[in-house]
Chains A and B, each alone.
Chain A
């Protein structure tokens, strides 16, 4: 499954390295992390990672294959 997670603000390159399995793009005051998510555990893991890095999740959705 492919997902995208939109977080508030422009995330620095350094911090995006904490998501090596995801690609990212910065746009209009948001950073979009996107890529393949292995399973639910991974998905929740990504959310916890956002939380522990102080990132504010605005939106998360599954992408069409």
Chain B
């Protein structure tokens, strides 16, 4: 029987492990009780109270018998019991919750198809926890969640999150914490409210009667005074009593042996364990010492460490005697944590220097048997990073350094890699780590070395996985440096390699292709090749579910939203960006480029709708995302949205400055360049430098429809209708443009028509623009169009078309006006569509105006020029749809802006 057969999952426990590893299933199973297990009625009765309180604490030192007590109790419960043995790596909240979700699902407390799971190791979405709490709250019978070895959780936010879920799950959840240390929960509050069941060290200690029963289970009968003395010596400590029984069993006169022990001064566990170890056969001792380097082991793995073939009977026998080891599911065992620590101390003394070698033997066995994650840990613990990197790369898991629950852990693991690791795989992992940190210098240099070694070598089938991993890094490097040819080369090479690799590996690592396609799409979008970008991005966005693909999926969706935006489809862009943001939030992604991208698209759309406050707060939310550096697309989008916002706030100088993007790239991006030019040009125009404004527009072409129509608007405003017409002609030829482009183009034509006296044509064009814009709530093109538009909008039927969303007045469409009954809902919903948002400066000016100051006085007061005050005034007039000072002040007050 092979090791993997033994670990085949229970039929009841199908589904994938949150981190994709069947080895870890054992963490969701109740530990089995050995034959010598002593059932203690008084404690079981106490535990039954746990079903009446939301929180139960089983608190005691190592070896007090906490785990087996709770496992024994839980096994007899009718309600579903979710069991999770916490491990040191679970401290990161995202990882911890992924396991909790899986534990609840495994035991049937959650529906298999229940939505959502954390995807980011560092955090978990609040919405996700709220959904879990609500789901549990709706249960008829509570689910019991046992967290064993909870002392390994040290992150304070995990305690807070547990507290949140517990509070909101109501009667639907009973939480049992089994721990050596006091958990960081507000226990006093639970205690005061009678919502806490506590079983602490003193209660866990064995009474003389219980000790007597335990000794009998081990075949020992002692007079009662002797048992009492033993209880006193061990302070009723379960591990101590069990060890004394085992040690005494091995001696010819158990009673005398125990008497001597009682009189001695040795530390209990230390001394007794050494004694018990002495009583085993040399083979058993050797086995126990060697497996102490492992968290869990099966007979085959133990054999790999001892280089013998006797682990199966030895482990079965040791387990039967309850000496040191606990049996988990599917023939996997673990050492009792207390004994494991002591055995390790013995291993170091008896077999000095063997520890690294044991780790490596384990790593090789684990890798052979398909337990890649554990192979990596053991390989790193043994100091052989070539082995660890090889396991990662050959398994096609390199993408997990960038996305998914394991990313943090893996990066940390490989952070210990020194220069002695020199395989191709190590080069790749080193380069990947640097790129993930956005350390381009080291990343690109390392990648070049890996490329040379992998692709200059002759063709070997065993290099396929490493080469494919390399193409992923090449695509990422191409994205970060804005280098399309490099990305296309990588994608072509990847296409070939994908055919050479087994489907099973590719299916297990969907994140690899998802990342590759997203990077490729990002570069194509940077270059303005929208259709090709979309092809690649759709493959990223449609990547099958699972925590590892959430990041590339949200990134791809964010990029697609940007492509929509740049082609004048704000509504579509908004829907996609919202989907990206909410998926990212649900999975607990922080603000990495992907989720950040979605927010920035939303900000850009908000600017176009003149919801400036919303735009500002969306941009502020993305300000701190560190991974934005060196990523050209998000950086350029941020510059675009922020500079347009500043322009609308009349901060023209700041807008021109913000339009510049600072990421050096191989190839310039036509849309990034075009938008920057339009913003700078508009700033020049506002400052009264039309010639310079026009000169800046030379880089704008019809291929970038949104900036082309804005450029045309500037041209026509600067008195160049013919140039504007040429540019619009080029946009029309492009053919993929959306409503924002149609609105802008119609406005440009309307102004040109008005300037040549064709007022009817201007009206018709404006009417069309209003109809298109109303659906998308696009207010910016009208508000920035200039003063010429106001008299036109004041006339019927344009006035009616603009009322309710662009101009004050009843909402568009039908129904009686507000205040006459009818559809109050529709009215209240449309009110926020008419927000007039004055910039801070405009408000400053209006406030002084209200105090009857002159323009000159205001200028002196604000330390600005008279012209600047006039500019602010003009723009305030435009926003308030007024023409006189008094009206401006009154209107602003009516709207609550002063």
Report which A residues bind B (CB closer than 8 A).
Answer: 7-15, 17-18, 29, 31, 51-56
Complex Cα distance, B61 from A13, in Å, reads 23
Bound CA span A15–B346, Å: 8
Are A10 and B265 in touch, CB under 8 angstroms?
Answer: yes
Is B143's beta carbon under 8 Å from chain A?
no
Q: Is the CB of A53 within 8 A of B180?
A: no
Given contacts A14-B270, A54-B268, A54-B270, 7 further A-B contacts (CB under 8 A): A9-B267, A10-B266, A13-B349, A15-B267, A17-B348, A53-B338, A54-B62
> Which single member of B61, B265, B268, B346 contacts A14 (CB below 8 Å)?
B346
Query: Does B239 touch A at the CB level, under 8 Å?
Result: yes
CB pair B342 A15 closer than 8 Å: yes
CA distance A52 to B344 in the complex (A): 12
With A8-B267, A10-B266, A12-B271: A53-B348 Cβ-Cβ less than 8 Å: no
Tell me if B676 is interfacial: C-beta within 8 Å of chain A. Answer: no
- A11 in contact with B270 (CB, 8 Å): yes
B63 within 8 A of A: yes
5 pairs across A/B with beta carbons < 8 Å? A14-B345, A31-B267, A51-B62, A53-B338, A53-B341
**CB within 8 A of B267: which of A10, A51, A52?**
A10
Q: Which residues of B contact A14 (CB under 8 A)?
A: 270, 274, 345-346, 349
Among the listed B180, B239, B267, which residue makes an inter-chain contact with A12, where contact means beta carbons less than 8 Å apart? B267
Question: How far, in whole Å, are A5 and B76 apart by their CA atoms in the complex?
Answer: 43
Contact A9/B265 with A18-B341, A53-B270 known, Cβ cut-off 8 Å: yes
B348 touches A9 (CB 8 A): no
How many CB-defined contacts (below 8 Å) exist between A and B?
66
Chain B residues packing against A (C-beta within 8 Å): 61-63, 180, 239, 264-271, 274, 337-338, 341-342, 344-346, 348-349
Q: How far is the CA of A56 from the CA of B62 in the complex (A)?
A: 11
- Measured between C-beta atoms, what is the minimum distance from B316 to chain A in Å? 26
Contacts of B349 in A (CB 8 A): 13-14, 17
Please determine whether B342 and A51 come into contact, CB atoms closer than 8 angstroms.
no
Query: Contact at A15–B62, with CB atoms within 8 Å?
Result: no
Closest-CB distance, B302 to chain A (whole angstroms) = 22
Q: Out of B266, B274, B338, which one reaches A9, CB within 8 Å?
A: B266
Q: How far is the CB of B426 from chain A (nearest CB, A)?
A: 30
A15 touches which of B63, B264, B265, B270 (Cβ 8 Å): B270
B342 A54 Cβ-Cβ under 8 A = yes
Chain A residues with CB under 8 A of B342: 15, 53-54
- Closest Cβ of chain B to A50, distance in Å, is 10
Contact B265 A52, beta carbon cutoff 8 Å: no
Q: Which residues of B contact A11 (CB under 8 A)?
A: 267, 270
| Chain B residues whose C-beta falls within 8 Å of the C-beta of A15 in the assembled complex | 267, 270, 342, 345
Q: How far is the CA of A17 from the CA of B344 in the complex (A)?
A: 10
The distance in angstroms between the C-alpha atoms of A32 and B611, with both chains bound, is 69
Q: Is the CB of A54 within 8 A of B239?
A: yes
Nearest-CB residue, chain A, relative to B337: A52
Cα-based distance from A7 to B342 in the complex (angstroms): 16
* Pairs A-B, 5 closest by C-beta atoms: A9-B267, A54-B269, A29-B265, A18-B345, A15-B270
